[in-house]
Amino acid sequence: MQYFPLFVDTHSLKVLVVGAGDVASRKLDLLSRTEASIHVIAVDICPDTLNYVKQSRITLEQRAVSDTDIQGYDLVYLCTADKRLNERLAGIAKEQGVWANVVDNPKYCRFITPSIVDRGRLQIAISTAGAAPVYARELRARLESWLPQSITPLFDFIAERRQEVQQRLPVFKHRRVFWEQFFSRNDSRFDENTQSHYDASFLMQKQNGELLLIDSSTAVDLLPIGAMPYLQKIEVTYSRLAIPFELNELLRRDASFSDCFDEATIAQQLAEGESCLVYGELDDITYLAKRFPKAKYLQAGSF
Ligand SMILES: C[C@@]1(CC(=O)O)c2cc3[nH]c(cc4nc(cc5[nH]c(cc(n2)[C@H]1CCC(=O)O)[C@@](C)(CC(=O)O)[C@@H]5CCC(=O)O)C(CC(=O)O)=C4CCC(=O)O)c(CCC(=O)O)c3CC(=O)O
Ligand SMILES: NC(=O)C1=CN([C@@H]2O[C@H](COP(=O)(O)OP(=O)(O)OC[C@H]3O[C@@H](n4cnc5c(N)ncnc54)[C@H](O)[C@@H]3O)[C@@H](O)[C@H]2O)C=CC1
């Protein structure tokens, strides 16, 4: 990977564009959407560039460029059609530690311009490492038609709620499940259902952590049939007693087992969305049923 993609914060970024022909104007189309301050130096100015001047989005000096113009910028786009001039200015930029993009020669580019799908917060940058910009453009066209425009407000909606999700779901794993839920319901649309998909994803979350209780006086073969799917979801079994063979057969093979636990361990596991089973003496299980009122206490015939 010769070219590594990264996303630069354009806040207080200083950019110089040398040249104001068609190619410079294409770079300006993208740059003008950022927060960067942009200065252009060129002899001939194409109408698109003049529009940006009229909108006060860029500053412009209509003159020939000089070697001393390069200093003080973070990025420089060299967009003249004069190969030797571009090359010379690229050399100066390099000496001064300014990152240069040379539109007619990738060898002198410190960075290259990708083809960009712009959906606000969602940015997709495509590069062929200079091999085939036309392919990058065509791939962009495909993505443009595939991704709805409403992705832009969708990601604003999400960004506004990110903190709320962090507060309501302090456990990392829960947030991941929440967002998986949200995107599987909502997909990439933003419409009148988005808010309810968001709300519903919290409810799904709450169903995740579950506690089943079975006391040792219960005959496993008398457990109601409706209990079986719950037993199959168990991820951790806690017991200080040996688990009866019949009960063990009803549990998932990949469920883990521990004989070392306390109330806090169980509470923590539930908070992390795990499904747990505690098998124990009648007194202990009765106590846990009171302590965890949402637990399902499986007993013969009742469910
Ligand atoms: C290295 C790079 C440097 C840079 O510009 O940063 C570069 C270099 C060169 N481009 C050339 C030609 C063309 N470039 C385009 C189009 C785009 N070029 C862009 C980027 C890049 N071009 C960088 C690599 C990106 C990558 O990794 O793929 C895009 C993606 C972004 C943008 O410019 O905004 C934009 C599509 C935007 C979009 O629509 O999405 C077209 C098609 C058209 O104009 O429609 C043609 C004509 C067809 C052809 O020749 O291929 C030439 C030969 C010039 C000559 O022969 O005189 C050179 C110099 C060379 O290769 O030596
Ligand atoms: N990287 C890319 O995506 C592409 C690059 N190119 C290359 O880009 C280059 C520019 O193409 P166009 O914009 O069509 O050229 P153009 O001729 O329309 O524009 C060149 C600009 O540079 C300015 N300029 C020239 N000498 C100058 C000087 N000494 N001081 C200040 N300004 C000066 C001109 O006034 C003009 O504004 C060409 O060499 C072309 O091969 C072409 C297509 C795509």
- pLDDT band per the 50, 70, 90 thresholds, residue 207: low
- pLDDT band per the 50, 70, 90 thresholds, residue 180: confident
Residue scoring higher pLDDT (175 or 159): 159
What's the mean pLDDT when you consider all of the chain? Answer: 93
Q: Which fold has domain 114-147?
A: Double Stranded RNA Binding Domain (3.30.160)
Q: Which ligand is nearest to the CA of 21?
A: 2
With 0.90 as the threshold, say if the pTM is over it.
no
Residue type, 222: L
For the chain, domain boundaries:
1-113, 114-147, 151-206, 210-297
- pLDDT tens for each residue of 80-117: 999 999 999 999 999 999 999 999 999 999 999 999 99
Q: Which fold has domain 210-297?
A: Cobalt-precorrin-4 Transmethylase; domain 1 (3.40.1010)
Read off the pLDDT of each residue in 245-267 and give the average, rounded to a whole number: 90
Q: Which ligand is nearest to the CA of 132?
A: 1
Q: Which fold has domain 1-113?
A: Rossmann fold (3.40.50)
CB-facing half-sphere around the CA of 155: CA atoms within 13 A: 11
pLDDT at 302 over 80: no
Residue nearest atom 5 in ligand 2 by C-alpha distance: 103
- pLDDT band per the 50, 70, 90 thresholds, residue 257: very high
Pick the most confident of 59-73, 216-230, 247-261.
Answer: 59-73
How far, in Å, CA of 65 to CA of 90, rounded?
13
Using most ligand atoms within 8 A of CB, pick from 110, 112, 123, 126 the residue to mutate for ligand 1: 112
How far, in Å, CA of 197 to CA of 132, rounded?
41
